[in-house]
Amino acid sequence: MSSADIATVHTGGTVLLGRVPSFLWLGIGVYALLLINGNPLLNDPDTYWHIAVGQWILDHSALPRVDIYSFTRAGEPWISTSWLAQVLLAKAYNWAGWSGPVVLTALASAVTFALLAFYLSARIGEKYALLVCVAALTLTAPHLLARPHVLALPVMLAWVHGLLGASEARKPPSFLLLPLMVLWANLHGSFVLGLALIVPIALDALWNAERAARTALALRWIVFAAAAVAASCVTPYGWGSILAARRILDLGELLRLIDEWRPADFSHVMPLELALLGGLGAALYWRIMLPPPRILLLLGFIHMALSHVRNIEVLALLAPLVVMTPLAAQFALPPARAGKTNVALTLTTAFAAMLVLSSWAIAGVARYSPPATASERAAVEALKAHHAGRILNDMSFAGFLISHGIPVFIDGRAELYGETFALAYHHALELNDVDGFLNLLKTYDIDAVWLTPKTPAARLLDRMQGWRRVYSDDNAVVHVRAND
* Residue 263 pLDDT level (bands cut at 50, 70, 90): confident
- Of the residues 357, 381, 402, which one is the last residue of a structural domain? 357
pLDDT digits (tens, 9 = 90+) for 364-380: 677 899 988 888 899 99
* Residue closest to 35 by CA, chosen among 255, 359, 313: 359
Same domain, 421 and 312: no
Torsion sign, CA atoms 165, 171, 177, 182: positive
Same domain, 401 and 470: yes
Same domain, 261 and 224: yes
Same domain, 349 and 391: no
Residue 153: its pLDDT value, please? 98
Q: Which residues of 109-136 are buried (b: 16+ CB within 10 A; e: fewer)?
A: bbbbbbbbbbbbbbbbbbebbbebbebb
Alpha helices in 370-449 (DSSP H): 377-385, 398-403, 414-429, 434-443
Cα 394 to Cα 455: distance, rounded to the nearest angstrom: 9
In a domain, 1, yes or no: no
Whether the pLDDT of residue 352 is over 80: the answer is: no
- Of the residues 357, 383, 413, which one is the last residue of a structural domain? 357
Cα 378 to Cα 475: distance, rounded to the nearest angstrom: 11
Same domain, 111 and 162: yes
Q: What pTM, to 2 d.p., does this model score?
A: 0.91
* Residue 75 pLDDT level (bands cut at 50, 70, 90): very high
Same domain, 168 and 275: yes
In a domain, 367, yes or no: no
- Of the residues 326, 357, 388, which one is the last residue of a structural domain? 357
In a domain, 307, yes or no: yes
Same domain, 43 and 94: yes
Residue 337: its pLDDT value, please? 65
Long-range contacts of the stretch 223-227 (C-beta < 8 A, 24+): 223/172, 224/172, 224/173, 224/175, 224/198, 225/195, 225/198, 225/199, 227/175, 227/178
In a domain, 15, yes or no: no
Q: Which helix (H) or strand (E) holds 5?
A: strand 5-10
Cα 448 to Cα 426: distance, rounded to the nearest angstrom: 17
**Domain total for the chain?**
2
In a domain, 309, yes or no: yes
* Residue 177 pLDDT level (bands cut at 50, 70, 90): very high
Residue 20: its pLDDT value, please? 62
* Residue 10 pLDDT level (bands cut at 50, 70, 90): very low
Q: 89 near 146, Cβ under 8 Å?
A: yes
In a domain, 8, yes or no: no
Mean per-residue pLDDT, 402-430? 92
Q: Determine how β-strand 13-19 pairs with β-strand 391-393.
A: unpaired
Cα 416 to Cα 335: distance, rounded to the nearest angstrom: 48
In a domain, 242, yes or no: yes
Backbone conformation region of residue 170, classed left if phi is above 0, alpha if psi is from -120 to 50, else beta: left
* Residue 276 pLDDT level (bands cut at 50, 70, 90): very high
pLDDT digits (tens, 9 = 90+) for 335-351: 876 554 455 556 656 66
* Residue closest to 81 by CA, chosen among 234, 227, 242: 242
Residue 19: its pLDDT value, please? 59
Same domain, 350 and 402: no
* Residue closest to 104 by CA, chosen among 368, 348, 431: 368
Q: Which helix (H) or strand (E) holds 331?
A: helix 312-331
Mean per-residue pLDDT, 91-102? 93
Whether the pLDDT of residue 220 is over 80: the answer is: yes
Same domain, 398 and 336: no
Same domain, 161 and 310: yes
The span from the first CA to the last CA of the chain, in angstroms, equals 75
* Residue closest to 244 by CA, chosen among 98, 379, 129, 78: 78
Q: Name residue 298's amino acid.
A: L
Residue 238: how many CB atoms within 10 A of its CB?
12
Instruction: Report the largest interatomic distance among the alpha carbons of the chain, rounded to a whole angstrom.
Output: 91
Q: 112 near 17, Cβ under 8 Å?
A: no
* Residue 7 pLDDT level (bands cut at 50, 70, 90): very low
The number of angstroms, rounded, from the C-alpha of 463 to the middle of its chain's C-alpha atoms is 41
Cα 201 to Cα 179: distance, rounded to the nearest angstrom: 19
Residue 139: how many CB atoms within 10 A of its CB?
20
Same domain, 270 and 381: no
In a domain, 474, yes or no: yes
Q: 290 near 207, Cβ under 8 Å?
A: no
Whether the pLDDT of residue 181 is over 60: the answer is: yes
Residue numbers of the domain that contains 446: 372-481
Same domain, 86 and 116: yes
How big is the chain by its Cα radius of gyration, in Å? 25
Cα 479 to Cα 462: distance, rounded to the nearest angstrom: 8
pLDDT digits (tens, 9 = 90+) for 14-25: 333 345 678 888
Residue 48: its pLDDT value, please? 97
All residues at 6 or more sequence positions from 390 whose CB lies less than 8 Å from its CB, including other chains: 71, 407, 409, 444, 445, 446, 447, 448
CA distances from residue 387 to 74, 274, 381, 403, 405 in whole angstroms, order as listed? 20, 51, 10, 17, 14
